[in-house]
Every structure is written in structure tokens, then in C-alpha cells.
Structure 1
Amino acid sequence: MFRGSSSHTIDAKGRIIIPARFRDVINASGDERIMITRMDNCLFAYTFNEWNKVEQRILQLPQKSERMRRFQRFFIGSAQDCRCDGQGRVLIPPMLKGYAGLEKEVVLVGVMSRFEIWSKEKLDREEEQLATDMGDEQIREEISHLGL
């Protein structure tokens, strides 16, 4: 599982360093490649095993909805097969880099079955939104069901 967060910079060639603890999870999956796609103004990165599970869940969804077809086109159609190099870096494809607004400072955030790649500025705004959301009784109720 991916946990924790790590700040990095993206180099001029569009590469980011994957933290060793994340690389350990990737390598333990039996494949050094990851699938990266776009969602929620950031990038979602999955091991190949987890990506296969995601695709299977998506295949089970109704295909009739125009919105679901649009989601599949966006999420699956953007997915890129990426490989860690010998220095533990991954090249972020230009289209994905542009979508997430990755320019200099990036933050990798472990979210259990995946990790997310954020521009620092966008993640800062996301954290501000969370602070606002925590004032909402419904959100606090959902979190309380986790026993936290």
C-alpha cells in the first residue's frame, strides 16, 4: 500500500523521482511499470496489478450512460504505461504533465492502492478545500463512521 507524501521537483525532461518506499510497493507487485492517468486535477498512478483491478471494475459498470462513456474516455484513454529508470525516476508524458500543471514543485501522495502526483500549488488549494469541507456536518459524519 502507498502511504505518506513526499515533495520533489520535476526536471527539465519531465521526470520525477519516485520515493524508495513507493518503488518498494511497485517492485513487490512483480512489475516495475506503473499506469498513470488523470483525475481530480492531479495524476493517479497504479501498479499494473491494481490497474487491472480498476479496469475490471470499470468493465462491470453500465455502458449506456453518456457520462460513463465520457469518464471512460477521459480516465482510460489518458492512461500511460510508465517505467521507473535506474535512478528511480519516471518520465511524465507531456499531456499528463500539462493536465496536472506539473512545472517545478510536485508532491507524491500515497492513497493506499495508488499514489497521486500533484503540483504543489494545486495540492495546497486542495488542502484549503479540505479545511473548508471539515466544517460540513455531513463530511464529519462520514469520517466518524471510520471510527476516527
Structure 2
Amino acid sequence: MFRGTSFHTIDTKGRLIIPSRFRDIIRNSENDGVMVSRMDRTLYAYTFEEWRKIENKILSLKEISESMRRFRRVFIGGAFECSCDKHDRILIPPTLRQYAGLEKDMVLVGALDHFEIWSLENWNKELEQLEIDSKKEEVRNEIAKLGI
């Protein structure tokens, strides 16, 4: 499981060093790399095993709504296989870097079955939004259901 937050930089070629605690999870999977896609102005990185589960869930849907077709088109169709190099880096394709606003400073956030790659600017906006949302009663009730 991917947990924790770490701050990194991306080099001018678009390479990002994967933290050791994330690399260990990736190496315990079947391939030495991740599938990376886009959503919510950030990037989602899954081990190949977890990615296959997502694809199988989508394929198993009996009926696919227009929104699900759109989601599949963008999330699955926009995904890239990113292998780890000998320096434990992955190369983020330019289209994904542009979508997520990745220029230099970034944040990697563990989200259990995947990790997210945020620009520092977008991550700070996400934290601000959480502060606003956590004051709403319905959000506080959802969090309380977790026992937190």
C-alpha cells in the first residue's frame, strides 16, 4: 500500500525519482514500473497489477453510460506505461506533465492502491480546499464514519 507524502523535483527531461518506500511496492509487483494517467489536475500512478484490476472492472460493466465512456476514453486512453530506469526514476510524458502543471517542484502522495503526482502549486490548492471542505457538516459526517 502506498502511504505518506514526499516532496521532489522533476528534471528538465521529465524524470522523477520514486521514493524508496514506493519503489519497494513497485518492485514487489510483476513489473518494474507504473501505469500513469490523469484526473483532477494531477497524475495517478498504479502498479501494473492494480491497473489491470481497473481495466477488468471497466470491462465487466454491463452497461456503460456516456460519462463512463468519456471517463474510459480519457483515463484509460490517456495512460502511459512508465518504467523505472537504473536510477529508480520514471519518465513522465510531456502531455501528462502539461496536464498536471509539473514544471519543477512536486509532491508524491500515497493513496493506498496508487500514488498521486501533484505539482506543488496544485497540491497547496488541494490542501486549502480540504480545509474549506472539512468545515462542511456532510464532509465532517463522512470522515466521522471512518472513526476519525
Scaled by the length of structure 2, the TM-score of the pair is 0.97
The correspondence of residues 19-38 of structure 1 with structure 2, limited to 5 A, is 19-38=19-38
Give the drift of 1:60.
2.5
Which residue number corresponds to residue 102 of structure 2? 102
* Partner Cα separation in structure 1 for residue 65 and residue 26 of structure 2: 34
User: Structure 1, residues 21-57: CA drift from partner, whole Å, max 9, x if none?
Assistant: 1000000113102100001110000000000111111
* Partner Cα separation in structure 2 for residue 95 and residue 63 of structure 1: 30
* Partner Cα separation in structure 2 for residue 63 and residue 92 of structure 1: 33
* Partner Cα separation in structure 2 for residue 14 and residue 66 of structure 1: 34
The one-letter code of the counterpart of 1:48 is F
Percent of pairs identical after alignment? 57
Q: How many residues were matched structurally?
A: 148
> Unpaired segments of 5 or more residues in structure 1?
none
Give the drift of 1:61.
2.8
> Unpaired segments of 5 or more residues in structure 2?
none
* Partner Cα separation in structure 1 for residue 30 and residue 77 of structure 2: 24
Scaled by the length of structure 1, the TM-score of the pair is 0.97
Structure 1 stretches of 4+ moved >4 Å: none
* Partner Cα separation in structure 2 for residue 109 and residue 55 of structure 1: 22
* Partner Cα separation in structure 2 for residue 62 and residue 33 of structure 1: 31
Output the aligned Cα RMSD. Answer: 0.9
